[in-house]
Structure 1
Amino acid sequence: MLNQFQNHIQLQFPFLKESKFFIAVSGGIDSMVLVDLFRKSNYKFSILHCNFQLRGEESEAETQFLRNFCRANQIYYSIRYFETEQYAKEQKLSTQLAARELRYNWFQEKLNQNNFQYLLTAHHADDNLETFLINLSRGTGLEGLTGIPAQNDYIIRPLLSFSRDEILAYAEENELFWKEDSSNASYKYLRNKIRRQIVPILKELHPTFLENFQKTQEFLNESQALIEDEVNLKYNDVVQEDENKKVISIEKLLKLQNWKTYLYHWLKPYKFTAWNDIYDLVNATSGKQIFSEEFILLKDRTSLLLFEKTDNFESYFLNEDENTLKVPLKITKSKVDNISNPSKHVIFVDEDKLSFPLEIRKWNAGDVFYPSGMQGKKKLSKFYKDEKYSLFDKENQWLLCSNNEIVWVIGKRADERFIATETTHNIIKIQLED
Structure 2
Amino acid sequence: MRSLERQVYLTLSDVIDDIPAKHLSVAVSMGADSLALFYIVYNLSKEYKFQLSAIHLNHGLRKESNIEQRAFIKLMDELSVNYYTDNLSVPDELTLDKGKSFELWARNERFKFYQNAKNKLMFDFLLTAHHKDDNVETFFLNLFRGTGLKGLAGIMAKRGFIISPLLNVEKIELYEYLKEINVQFFEDYTNKDNKARRNYIRNVILPDIEKKFSNYKNSIVSCMEEVSFAIDFINSFIPFWYKEEEWDLHLFENLSPYLQRYIMYRKINDLLDFELENINPKRQPSVSKKIVNYALLKIKTLKNGEILQFRNIKIYKSYNRIYFVTSSVKDSSVQGSFSLDKSEFENKKSLVLSFNQYFINIKIKRKIDNIDLNKNFIFEKDKIVDRLIFSKWEKGDFIYLKYGKKKLQDLFVDWKIPRHLKDKILVLKDCKNIIGIFIPFKFANRQNYILSNQYFIDFQSNYEYIIVSVNEKG
Q: TM-score, normalising length from structure 2?
A: 0.77
Matched, 1:353 2:385: yes
Structure 2 unmatched runs, 5+: 273-285, 439-447
Q: Is the contact between residue 354 and residue 418 of structure 1 (CA under 8 Å) also seen in structure 2?
A: no
> Distance in 2 between the 1:195 and 1:20 partners?
34
1:384 is displaced (CA, Å) by: 0.9
Find 2:218's aligned residue among 211, 225, 229: 211
Matched, 1:409 2:410: no
Given candidates 276, 299, 304, the residue that maps to 2:317 is 299
Q: Tell me, in whole angstroms, the C-alpha distance in 2 between the residues paired with 1:77 and 1:51.
A: 13
C-alpha contact 1:22 1:119 (8 A) present in aligned 2: yes
Deviation string for 1:359-411 (max 9, x for gaps)?
Answer: 3x5445x35234356776x5422121133334465244322256797542124
Distance (whole Å) between structure 1 residues aligned to residue 400 and residue 120 of structure 2: 56
In the alignment, what sits opposite 1:9? 9
Contact kept, 8 Å, 1:351 with 1:426, in 2: the verdict is: no
Q: Distance in 1 between matches of 2:200 and 2:64?
A: 22
Corresponding pairs, count: 420
Q: Which residue of 2 aligns with 1:286?
A: 304
1:351·1:428 contact (CA, 8 Å) conserved in 2? Answer: no
Deviations 1:230-277 (A, max 9, x none): 22xxx03xx387xxx533222232222234234335513223833123
CA contact (8 A) 1:305 1:392 kept: no
For residues 404 and 194 of structure 1, the distance between their equivalents in structure 2, rounded to whole angstroms, comes to: 72
Q: Which moved more, 1:188-197 or 1:264-273?
A: 264-273
Q: What letter corresponds to residue 139 of structure 1 in structure 2?
A: G
Residue 54 of structure 1, CA deviation: 1.7
Q: 1:121 aligns with which of 96, 103, 128?
A: 128
TM-score normalized by the length of structure 1: 0.83
AA aligned opposite 1:305:
Y
Question: Is 1:339–1:348's contact at 8 Å kept on the other side of the alignment?
Answer: no
Residue 413 of structure 2 is aligned to residue 381 of structure 1: no
**Corresponding residue for residue 292 of structure 2:** 275
The Cα of 1:29 is off from its aligned counterpart by 0.6
Provide the rounded CA distance (Å) in 2 between the counterparts of 1:292 and 1:367: 34
**Cα–Cα, structure 1 residues 338 and 14, in superposed 2: closer, same or farther, change >3 Å?**
closer
Q: CA deviation at 1:34?
A: 0.5
Task: Provide closer, same or farther for how the CA distance between residues 30 and 186 of structure 1 changes in structure 2, counting only shifts above 3 A.
Answer: same
Alpha-carbon RMSD: 3.5
Report the Cα distance in structure 1 between the residues aligned to 2:165 and 2:8, rounded to whole angstroms. 8
User: Are the aligned partners of 1:342 and 1:348 in contact in 2 as well (CA < 8 Å)?
Assistant: no
User: Is the 2:334–2:425 Cα contact (8 Å) retained in structure 1?
Assistant: no
Moved more, 403-412 or 112-121: 403-412
- When residues 401 and 193 of structure 1 are mapped into structure 2, their CA distance, relative to the original with a 3 A threshold, is farther
Residues 101 and 382 (structure 1), Cα distance of their counterparts in 2 relative to 1, 3 Å cut:
same
Q: What's the % identity of the aligned pairs? A: 23
Q: 5+ residue gaps in structure 1? A: none
**Equivalent pair of 1:51/1:81 in contact (CA under 8 Å):** yes
CA distance in 2, matches of 1:389, 1:269: 25
- Distance in 1, Cα, partners of 2:304 & 2:7: 58
Contact 1:51–1:60 (CA<8 Å) still a contact in 2? yes
